[in-house]
Structures are given as structure tokens and as C-alpha cells.
């Protein structure tokens, strides 16, 4: 986009098509991607189809679909005619979907075949059309006269300006009630454009998309940022199991990917760490810093090969990355970059790239955005992060009271996150303000920091620290299959699985408290048999467990 181009989706796409028309844009891994010229033609055809459905500027149109090229085409077509897109997370339950459709007053929904059954029992007054996103066929009503045809062109002329509402995004948050975040054309397009100041991209870059497009993180940084740059984006045709992901990585050889901490942490704990601790000799070598760095470097080369060998930007966001895993990735020279933001800020507020990344920070503030620490602690400099800039939302849809709680009269957005800047302007996130536990001596205890220690213990899949009757309690989900396999391998079949889990629970209690200061030590460890419920970015829905364990 040039300086004269407004931050709108039609303006963004027109400029990219002009510069990179014959370059590949969107496709499935292992298949040929459509060009930007073909993408533009498809967007115009779907825009004309939307006109047939009676969609006009301001009409809300939902997308409930797995990732695919037609997801992006539909999204761009909706905003192209001034309508408002309502992306819905694929893992939403039918009742959550119904709430979104009702609250937003959605007129039409584009749905992928595998998710169609979720709409079977839904009945909302506003919803008139259901469209199969794979081929744009009208599923409901069954005898609709509207029909998609390639090559159609919209008949209307649309005045799309920067402050026009583009999307209402319903968050599946860690704190309970789902809210509709209103984002304008400028909010999203500004963030995509300025994202290039964090990591410059070009038309030869290739993204492999593995996070849901209905989440702002993947939507803005994994779709719109590549489109601004003329890069290409590839999708998986099936869920990202190893048997699907590994061939896709080989076929695409991505130069860029976006993930959440849980993905790379699972790879580290299940594949990489066991190799360093497989016998006494390797454990001794890994405990010696010079040989540890060498072993990490060799592991990094293997990891790069698994990811296709061309990776230059591996973005991690959505939650805090384990310090142990981050240290491994840095020593392995794996090209990690950490970003920070929220749905309400479309989403990026701060970010690093593989060349300027600093340990346990999220990088400097995004160009064009202002961040400040509100009422910082006089000793630590920590406080709530407030943000101001063109990417800050208009507010929560039909929720003026909630909007007023987080947006000040002079435009500051209260993030609810606690952080601190270092002397070079790099931001570090301490935790969510709502999650902080105040200890007996009045000190702040960040449960996320304790969970990082717990998650580095053997056989731990995930954990959650809560306050229960004034005590710190760790809920821990062990990998029971790995525990059973390990004890069978060492020929300890006398004791049962439950006894081994109980033994590990006691070991974990000692392990954690020996590594924490006195104020942060846990009083109890509880085996949590089921995986924790999570958001789209794989953050545990804390409110479900904090409420349950309140005194």
C-alpha cells in the first residue's frame, strides 16, 4: 500500500493485485495456489453473489469454516461491499454459535461441510441463508433463486472508508463471557501494513497456516499481512496431525509460520527433551553448558529440516512461552519471534523478529502504536499495559457499559495485562491482572510463572495454579500414556498406574517448591485427570477452574 492508499480492504487488495497479480496467493498444501488476479476475480464474483442474497452495507454475514482459500475469498468479498463479517471459531458449540448469530443479527452464514451439522438445531430470526463455502451453493432455503457463478461482477458502487465497521469478532476468552469486538477496516489493515515493520516480507515468502482463521491473530498476521506483501498462504486440507503436517511442511517449505506456545512446547517435551535425557551420559553432557549449547544447536538443525528447511520467521503469540523452551530455541538458532496483542487491538501491539528478539520479552512497541505502563510500581516498574493507536477497536458490539470499562475518554485501551519495559523499550508480560494472586504478605504472585516451572517436570502435559482457601494449589494433567510406557520399559510392572502418578505428584511438589521463592511455593498438587478446556489460541479457560476451586 502506498501512503495515498486508505487502510481499507478493497484498497489493500487492489494495490497488491496491481503489483503481484501473477504471483500465487492462496492454496492448499501440495496443490497449486491461485494467483492474485484469480483471487481478485473470485472476490468480485462472491461480492455479486452476496448482492443476490440481499446483502447490503452493514449487513452481518458469518463464516463458520475450517481454513481454506475460500475462507479468505469470502471474508474479502463481504467487506468489499461494506457488509460486516462475523468469523466464528470452528470449536464453538451449537449453543455458542446460536448466541453469536442472534447477538450479531446475522443474515447469512458461509459454512464448511464438516461443520454443517452444528447448525442443524439452530433457529434465529435474522438468519435467512446458509451457504456451503466449498462451492458457494445455497444450502438453505432449499429452493433459493440466488446462485453463484464464476465471472459475475457486483452491480453496486460502494463507498468503503477507513472507519467503516469491517468485522465483529466474538472471543472465546479465558475470563468467561464471549464479547463481540468491533474492528474497522483501518484497525485490521493498519495492523497488517505495520506488521511489515516487524518482519519485512516479499512476494516469494510462503506461509503455512495452522491456526484458525476466525481468530484475529491468524486472520490479521497470517492472512492480511501476507496479502499486503504479495506473499502466498497455504492451508491444510485436514486437521494438523503429524501425518498431515509433516508432508505439508515438505511440500510448502514455508518461510513463515504462526503458532501458539503449546505447539512448540509439546514438540520440545515429547520429542526433543527425551533425547537429551535418554541415558546417564547424555544427561551429564546436557548439564554442562558448552555441550548443552552444541546439542541444542544440532537439535535445531534437525528441527529446521522437519519444518522444510526454509523457515526464517516462526511467530509465537497468544500466550507466554516457557522460558526453558525459549532458551532451547534460542540456543538452537531456531528463527523464533514473539508477538503480543489482543483481539481488541486487531491484534498486534508489540513484536520481535528472529534478529532482534530478547529472552522473555515480546519485543518493542509496534510502529504507529503507543503503549504505556499505567501507574507502575515504584520498585519494579510493573503495571497494567495501556494502548492507543489506529488498531484499537471501536468497542464491544451492543455492550456500551463493557466498552466504557476498557476504553478511556481520551482513547486509551486498558489491556488487563501486567507488564514492564526494559531500558531498550522491550516489553515483558508478567501476567493477566485478573489472574494475579495476592499473597499473605501483600506480594503479587503470578500463577503463569509457577505453571512454567511445573510444565518442565517430566510427564506433565499442562497445569493450572489456583487459590483455594488462601492456599496455592496446582492442578496438574499428567501424560498417563507416557508414564505407563516408561515404567513398563524399566520393567517396573509391580506398581499400578495410579501409584506411579501418586509418586510423580509427590516428586513434582518437591521439584516445584525447590525452584520457587518462599512466597510462590504451592501447598498442594492435585492430579487433574482430563485435559483443561482451552481457547482458540490454546490458553486454558481459567475462569472454569478458578470458580470451581474457590473457597
Domains of the chain by range and CATH? 9-193 (3.40.50.12780), 256-309+311-432 (3.40.50.12780), 436-548 (3.30.300.30)
CA dist 336 → 66, 231, 247, 305, 339 (Å):
26, 19, 22, 15, 10
> What are the b/e assignments for 302-329, b being 16+ CB within 10 Å?
ebbeebbeebebbbbbbbbbbebbbebb
Whether the per-residue pLDDT at 413 is higher than 90: the answer is: yes
User: Alpha helices of 21-93 — where are they, by DSSP H?
Assistant: 36-52, 69-80
Question: Over pLDDT 70: what percentage of the chain?
Answer: 95
Scanning the structure block, which residue is given the C-alpha cell 531500558?
Answer: 423
Residues 373-400 have pLDDT tens digits of: 999 999 999 999 999 999 999 999 999 9
Backbone angles phi, psi at 104, to 5 degrees: -85, -15
302 touches 245 (CB < 8 A): no
Q: SS3 for 156?
A: coil
* Beta carbons within 8 Å of 424's beta carbon, 6+ residues apart: 358, 364
Whether the per-residue pLDDT at 177 is higher than 80: the answer is: no
pLDDT number for residue 456: 86
Whether the per-residue pLDDT at 490 is higher than 70: the answer is: no
Whether the per-residue pLDDT at 345 is higher than 90: the answer is: yes
What's the chain's average pLDDT? 92
210 touches 236 (CB < 8 A): yes
pLDDT number for residue 128: 96
Closest to 528 measured CA to CA, from 517, 540, 536: 540
Whether the per-residue pLDDT at 493 is higher than 60: the answer is: no
Confidence of residue 500 (pLDDT cuts 50, 70, 90): confident
Span 284-291, average pLDDT: 94
pLDDT number for residue 423: 95
pLDDT number for residue 174: 43
Q: How far apart are CA 250 and CA 244, in angstroms?
A: 11
CA dist 10 → 15, 40, 156, 166, 185 (Å):
9, 10, 14, 11, 9
pLDDT number for residue 241: 87
Rg (CA), the chain: 24
- Find which of 90-94, 165-169, 489-493, 520-524 is predicted with most confidence, using mean pLDDT: 165-169
Q: How far apart are CA 374 and CA 381, in angstroms?
A: 10
Residues 21-77 have pLDDT tens digits of: 999 999 999 999 999 999 999 999 999 999 999 999 999 999 999 999 999 999 999
Strands 256-259 and 206-209: parallel
Whether the per-residue pLDDT at 176 is higher than 60: the answer is: no
Span 79-100, average pLDDT: 94
Confidence of residue 175 (pLDDT cuts 50, 70, 90): very low
Q: SS3 for 22?
A: coil
Is residue 526 reached through a cis peptide bond, with omega within 30 degrees of 0 on the bond before it? no
pLDDT number for residue 98: 93
pLDDT number for residue 172: 63
Whether the per-residue pLDDT at 10 is higher than 90: the answer is: yes
Centroid of chain to Cα 392? 18
How many residues does this entry show for the chain?
Answer: 551
Question: Over pLDDT 90: what percentage of the chain?
Answer: 73
Confidence of residue 405 (pLDDT cuts 50, 70, 90): very high
Amino acid at each position: 500500500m502506498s501512503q495515498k492508499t486508505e487502510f481499507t480492504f478493497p484498497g489493500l487488495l487492489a494495490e497488491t493485485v496491481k503489483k503481484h497479480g501473477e504471483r500465487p496467493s492462496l492454496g492448499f498444501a501440495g496443490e497449486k495456489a491461485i494467483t492474485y488476479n484469480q483471487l481478485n476475480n473470485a472476490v468480485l464474483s462472491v461480492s455479486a453473489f452476496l448482492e443476490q442474497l440481499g446483502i447490503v452495507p452493514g449487513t452481518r454475514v458469518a463464516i463458520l469454516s475450517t481454513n481454506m482459500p475460500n475462507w479468505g475469498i469470502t471474508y474479502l468479498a463481504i467487506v468489499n461491499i461494506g457488509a460486516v463479517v462475523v468469523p466464528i471459531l470452528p470449536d464453538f458449540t451449537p449453543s455458542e454459535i446460536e448466541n453469536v448469530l442472534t447477538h450479531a443479527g446475522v443474515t447469512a452464514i458461509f459454512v464448511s461441510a464438516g461443520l454443517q451439522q452444528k447448525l442443524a438445531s439452530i433457529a434465529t430470526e435474522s438468519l435467512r441463508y446458509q451457504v456451503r463455502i466449498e462451492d458457494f451453493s445455497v444450502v438453505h432455503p432449499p429452493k433459493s433463486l440466488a446462485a453463484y457463478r464464476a465471472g459475475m461482477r457486483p452491480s453496486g458502487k460502494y463507498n468503503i472508508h477507513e472507519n467503516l465497521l469491517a468485522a465483529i469478532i466474538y472471543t472465546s476468552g479465558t475470563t468467561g463471557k464471549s464479547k463481540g469486538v468491533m474492528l474497522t477496516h483501518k484497525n485490521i489493515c493498519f495492523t497488517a501494513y505495520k506488521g511489515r515493520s516487524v518482519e519485512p516480507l516479499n512476494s516469494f515468502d510462503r506461509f503455512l497456516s495452522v491456526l484458525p482463521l476466525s481468530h484475529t491473530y491468524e486472520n490479521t498476521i497470517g492472512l492480511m499481512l501476507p496479502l499486503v506483501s504479495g506473499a502466498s498462504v497455504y492451508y491444510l486440507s485436514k486437521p494438523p496431525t503429524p501425518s498431515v503436517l509433516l508432508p505439508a511442511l515438505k511440500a510448502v517449505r514455508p518461510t513463515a509460520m504462526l503458532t501458539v506456545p503449546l505447539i512448540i512446547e509439546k514438540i520440545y517435551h515429547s520429542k526433543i527433551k527425551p533425547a537429551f535425557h535418554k541415558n546417564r551420559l547424555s544427561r551429564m553432557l546436557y548439564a554442562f553448558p558448552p555441550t548443552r549449547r552444541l546439542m541444542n544447536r544440532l537439535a535445531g538443525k534437525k528441527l529446521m529440516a522437519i519444518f522444510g528447511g526454509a523457515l526464517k520467521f516462526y511467530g509465537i503469540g497468544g500466550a507466554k512461552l516457557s522460558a526453558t523452551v525459549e532458551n532451547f530455541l534460542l540456543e538452537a538458532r531456531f528463527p523464533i519471534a514473539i508477538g503480543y496483542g489482543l483481539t481488541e487491538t486487531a491484534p498486534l501491539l508489540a513484536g520481535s523478529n528472529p534478529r532482534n528478539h530478547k529472552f522473555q520479552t515480546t519485543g518493542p512497541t509496534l510502529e504507529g502504536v503507543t503503549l504505556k505502563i499505567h501507574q507502575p510500581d515504584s520498585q519494579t516498574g510493573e503495571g497494567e499495559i495501556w494502548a492507543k493507536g489506529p488498531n484499537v477497536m471501536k468497542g464491544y458490539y451492543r455492550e456500551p457499559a463493557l466498552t466504557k470499562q476498557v476504553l478511556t475518554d481520551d482513547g486509551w485501551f486498558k489491556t488487563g495485562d501486567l507488564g514492564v519495559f526494559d531500558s531498550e523499550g522491550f516489553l515483558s508480560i508478567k501476567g493477566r491482572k485478573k489472574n494475579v494472586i495476592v499473597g499473605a504478605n501483600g506480594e503479587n504472585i503470578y500463577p503463569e510463572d509457577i505453571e512454567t516451572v511445573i510444565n518442565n517436570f517430566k510427564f506433565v502435559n499442562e497445569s493450572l495454579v489456583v487459590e483455594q482457601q488462601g492456599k496455592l494449589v496446582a492442578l496438574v494433567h499428567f501424560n498417563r500414556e507416557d508414564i505407563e510406557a516408561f515404567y513398563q520399559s524399566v520393567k517396573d510392572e509391580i506398581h499400578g498406574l495410579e501409584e506411579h502418578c501418586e509418586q510423580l505428584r509427590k516428586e513434582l511438589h518437591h521439584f516445584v517448591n525447590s525452584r520457587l521463592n518462599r512466597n510462590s511455593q504451592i501447598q498442594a498438587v492435585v492430579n487433574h485427570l482430563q485435559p483443561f478446556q482451552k481457547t482458540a489460541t490454546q490458553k486454558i479457560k481459567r475462569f472454569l477452574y478458578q470458580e470451581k476451586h474457590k473457597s
